[in-house]
Amino acid sequence: MNRRNFLSLTGTFTGGVLLLPEFLHAFGAQNSLVVGEQCLVFIQLNGGNDGLNTFIPYENPLYYDLRTKIAIGKEAVIGKNKGMAFHPALKDFAQMQQNGDLTILQNVGYPEPNRSHFRSQEIWQTATDATKYISEGWLGRYLDLQCKEPQPTAGINLDSIDNLALKGMEPNTITVKNPNQFKVRSDKDDTIKLSDNPQLDFVRKVANSVTEGSDEIQKAIAKSTTENSYPKTGLSKNLEWIARLIKGNLNSKVYYTSLGGFDTHDNQLAIQEKKLTELNDALYSFYQDLKKAQLLQNVTVVVFSEFGRRVKDNGNGTDHGTAAPMFIIGGNNKGTVLGKNPNLSDLDNGDLKYEIDFRSVYATLLQHKMNFDSTKIGINNNTVSGLF
């Protein structure tokens, strides 16, 4: 190895600042990203959200027969439309549908459904057949091909853990644990103690400054403000920051965040109501924020869960199931309902049979919003017609 060449190749100490070799891709100056202003925002509902109690077949007597303890009453549901209606906690979903900004895709799933949270999330995140395995996520693969040079902020994951969906060969995404880190630090912050162990305290402060290092993010935040008040929940905070980044023209292609707590084996009515309320309130604030900024046509929000739940209740809850509705908001979607109402009499081991493969939805999003051919990343399903 010729040391001098490596020196010029990778940079070295310059004025005490360690310049990073390109292959380790720190946040650098980044060129503006790829196509257009369109972006995708994913909200992953962890635990398996019960679809039948989310978008409810309230006119189907079987629904009430099979769910004696946990069915939502006809009089409680809202936004009635062709035999289907929303859980009462989703009052603003009904509003968004009224406005023509929400499409519901019914019975979304995949062949040979897996009922393990773990594995089913993997399948949704990698977009493979249920029997195939790859270690990169579908959005990670997309960004690998889309970004000619690695773009650390091409995908932004607001979560405490990395998301497999965004994992690619190149570091095109970052995970941000605490969006408050985005705030420009003041000297005051240095006095905050993050641990009684002085070494750990130091490392945590360094760790926090890692994401602050992104000039692009800082710039986007400087350019935007929060205009309406979001509720004070975790999901809401994350969406509020995503909105700021979009409004600040960060030009990321993909934003990802999640909401947990949908694994309602017991006490479903109370738990799901709480969770759906959180989802509804956060998402509606986000929706209004983008609408006011006249950006909703550029932002497509996708809400999904790794599976739905068993049609028949197990008492006060439900067990793991299969197909469920998926929600698309904004991005000039047609504002409609796609797919038949759930068929509760033709079940597979007590679970709904899927009608729309989730990969068809992915293919549609990539095709229509990102102008990208999904077969390049191994998604060969047909697109869904009538969504955009």
Partner 1 sequence: MNKSNLWSLRLGFSSKQAAQIESLGIEKFLKQSFASKYEKHLPQFLEDDPKTLAELKEFRNKIKETTSAEGKKVLKQQLRNSSELKSWWIDKMRNDAFPLREKMVCFWHNHFVATSQKVKVNYWVYQHNMILRENAFGNFKELTKKIIKSNAMVKYLDNVDNKKGSYNENLSRELLELFTLGIGNYTESDIKNGARALAGLNLGEDAAVYRRFIEDNSDKTYFGKTGNWKADDLVDIIFEQKNIPYLITKKILKWLVYDNPSDAMVIYYGDYFRKMNFEIQPLLTKIVTEEYVKNNSGSKIKDPLLYILQLIDELQIKDVESKMIAFFLKQQGMELFNQVNVKGWDGGNSWLTSQIYLQRNNTADMLCNGKILNRKEFNNIPEEGEQPKISFEKVNISLQFDTNGNNKKIIADLSNRLLFQIEDDTQKDMENLLKYDFDAKEAHANNAVLRLFNYITKTPEYQLI
The residues that touch partner 1, with contacts defined as CB under 8 A, are 1-6, 9-10, 12-13, 17-18, 20-27, 46, 116-119, 122, 133, 135, 160-162, 164, 167, 169, 171, 197-200, 202-204, 206-207, 209-210, 212-213, 260
Residue recorded with tokens 């006809």: 74
Closer CB to partner 1, 9 or 35, in the complex: 9
Secondary structure of the chain as H, E, C letters: CCHHHHHHHHCCEECCEECCCHHHCCCCCCCCCCCCCCEEEEEEECCCCCHHHCEECCCCHHHHHHCCCCCCCCCCCEEEECCEEECHHHHHHHHHHHCCCEEEEEEEECCCCCCCHHHHHHHHHHCCCCCCCCCCCHHHHHHHHHCCCCCCCCEEEECCCCCHHHCCCCCCEEEECCHHHHCCCCHHHHHCCCCCCHHHHHHHHHHHHHHHCCHHHHHHHHHCCCCCCCCCCHHHHHHHHHHHHHHCCCCCCEEEEEECCCCCCCCHHHHHHHHHHHHHHHHHHHHHHHHHCCCHHHEEEEEEECCCECCCCCCCCCCECCCEEEEEEECCCCCCEECCCCCCCCCECCECCCCEEHHHHHHHHHHHHCCCCHHHHCCCCCCCCCCC
Residue recorded with tokens 């900024």: 293
Q: Closest separation between CB of residue 282 and partner 1, Å?
A: 19
- Distance between CA atoms of 381 and 328, rounded to whole angstroms? 18
Q: Closest separation between CB of residue 116 and partner 1, Å?
A: 5
Q: Closest separation between CB of residue 327 and partner 1, Å?
A: 23
Q: Closest separation between CB of residue 63 and partner 1, Å?
A: 27
Closer CB to partner 1, 133 or 380, in the complex: 133
Q: Closest separation between CB of residue 235 and partner 1, Å?
A: 15
Closer CB to partner 1, 212 or 273, in the complex: 212
| Side-chain-facing half-sphere of 319: CA atoms under 13 Å | 9
Closer CB to partner 1, 59 or 162, in the complex: 162
Closer CB to partner 1, 180 or 371, in the complex: 180
Q: Closest separation between CB of residue 174 and partner 1, Å?
A: 10
Rounded to a whole number of angstroms, the distance between the first and last alpha carbons of the chain is: 55
Q: Closest separation between CB of residue 147 and partner 1, Å?
A: 15
Closer CB to partner 1, 111 or 213, in the complex: 213
Q: Closest separation between CB of residue 157 and partner 1, Å?
A: 13
Closer CB to partner 1, 116 or 229, in the complex: 116
Q: Closest separation between CB of residue 158 and partner 1, Å?
A: 14
Closer CB to partner 1, 9 or 76, in the complex: 9
Closer CB to partner 1, 103 or 153, in the complex: 153
